[in-house]
């Protein structure tokens, strides 16, 4: 990922999505996600460039870059895709500066139990609804299976993060997720069963995460960043 992608300095970037999870097939895209620090001029003047380009999205290859402030705000809301970047296996990182390493070091402090539960269950619920609504019957089976795999992944990774405070991005055994995808193709109601089980597990399990995220750690990281990359 080139610094030419953004007006600023790339701090952290890596491969996310199906490739990172171990669920990629022959036709899967390679998705890249990154964090960058915008220069000082982006925050000053009559028309603020940062308002328009806090996120940069490119295709072929698929690249999404978030400015550091926006990235941290999304992380504090426990956005699952955003969080993945801070928990990648070492071989999936493409850029990691000192500031990027410092962001990884405070990753647990950006999380709290209520937001992790809300975010992961929320995303899983959206996937389950897409899989069971009337229009799902018109979708190609391969697409339905893909959404089903990611539903199960969201559920399992969300519960892991909630109960242990840690996240494993690369799945140890992809086969159960592949099998689940085919099961949902055959019977979409299976998706709602998994969602119901997830709600029960979230509600019945104690969390290793605090009730409140450490906003102060996020603020301190951003303030150091602005001094380092003026």
Residue 25 has a pLDDT of 85
Looking at the fold, whether 136 and 193 belong to one and the same domain comes out as: yes
Residue 60 has a pLDDT of 79
Task: Let me know: does 158 contact 116? Beta carbons within 8 Å.
Answer: yes
- Please classify residue 210 by burial: count the beta carbons closer than 10 Å to its beta carbon, then call 0-12 exposed, 13-18 middle and 19+ buried: middle
Residue 43 has a pLDDT of 77
Looking at the fold, whether 11 and 100 belong to one and the same domain comes out as: yes
Residue 60 is part of which domain span? 3-110+213-228
Residue 220 has a pLDDT of 98
9-63 pLDDT per residue, tens: 999 999 999 999 999 988 788 999 999 999 887 777 776 656 556 888 888 789 9
Looking at the fold, whether 145 and 222 belong to one and the same domain comes out as: no
Looking at the fold, whether 190 and 219 belong to one and the same domain comes out as: no
Tokens at 114, concatenated: 């209520």
Could you list the beta-strand ranges (E) of 54-124.
55-58, 62-67, 93-96
126-155 pLDDT per residue, tens: 999 999 987 767 789 999 999 999 999 999
Residue 187 has a pLDDT of 94
- Please classify residue 27 by burial: count the beta carbons closer than 10 Å to its beta carbon, then call 0-12 exposed, 13-18 middle and 19+ buried: exposed
Q: What is the mean pLDDT of the chain?
A: 92
Task: Let me know: does 156 contact 198? Beta carbons within 8 Å.
Answer: no
Looking at the fold, whether 194 and 97 belong to one and the same domain comes out as: no
Residue 87 has pLDDT above 70, yes or no: yes
Looking at the fold, whether 117 and 65 belong to one and the same domain comes out as: no
Q: Specify the residue for token string 């609504």.
A: 133
Q: Specify the residue for token string 């193709």.
A: 185
Closest CA to 97 of 209, 217, 11: 11
More confident residue, 7 or 68: 68
Residue 53 has a pLDDT of 67
Looking at the fold, whether 127 and 165 belong to one and the same domain comes out as: yes
Q: Are strands 9-16 and 62-67 parallel, antiparallel or unpaired?
A: unpaired
pTM of the model: 0.92
Structural domain tally of the chain?
2
Closest CA to 213 of 132, 137, 112, 129: 112
Residue 52 has a pLDDT of 58
State the DSSP code for 214: -
Rg, the chain, Cα only:
19
173-220 pLDDT per residue, tens: 999 999 999 999 999 999 999 999 999 999 988 999 999 999 999 999
Residue 222 has pLDDT above 60, yes or no: yes
Looking at the fold, whether 94 and 156 belong to one and the same domain comes out as: no
109-131 pLDDT per residue, tens: 999 999 999 999 999 999 999 99
Contacts of residue 185, defined as CB under 8 A and 6 or more positions apart, other chains included, come to: 141, 144, 145, 148
Looking at the fold, whether 98 and 135 belong to one and the same domain comes out as: no
Contacts of residue 157, defined as CB under 8 A and 6 or more positions apart, other chains included, come to: 80, 120, 167, 168, 169
**Helix 68-76 × helix 215-228 angle, to 10°:** 170
């Amino acid at each position: 990922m080139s610094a030419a992608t953004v007006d600023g300095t790339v701090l952290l970037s890596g491969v996310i999505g199906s490739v990172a999870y171990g669920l990629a097939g022959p036709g899967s895209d390679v998705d890249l996600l990154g964090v960058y620090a915008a220069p000082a001029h982006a925050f000053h003047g009559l028309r603020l460039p940062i308002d328009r380009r806090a996120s940069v999205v490119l295709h072929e290859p698929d690249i999404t870059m978030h400015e550091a402030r926006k990235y941290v705000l999304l992380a504090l809301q426990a956005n699952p895709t955003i969080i993945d970047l801070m928990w990648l296996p070492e071989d999936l990182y493409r850029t990691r500066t000192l500031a990027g390493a410092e962001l990884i070091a405070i990753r647990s402090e950006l999380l709290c139990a209520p937001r992790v539960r809300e975010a992961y269950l929320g995303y899983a619920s959206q996937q389950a609804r897409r899989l069971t609504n009337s229009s799902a019957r018109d979708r190609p089976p391969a697409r339905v299976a893909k959404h089903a795999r990611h539903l199960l992944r969201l559920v399992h990774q969300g519960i892991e993060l909630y109960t242990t405070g840690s996240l494993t991005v690369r799945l140890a055994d992809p086969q159960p997720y592949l099998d689940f995808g085919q099961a949902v193709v055959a019977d979409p109601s299976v998706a709602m069963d998994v969602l119901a089980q997830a709600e029960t597990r979230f509600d019945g399990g104690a969390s290793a995460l605090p009730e409140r995220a450490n906003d102060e750690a996020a603020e301190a990281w951003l303030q150091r960043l602005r001094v380092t990359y003026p």
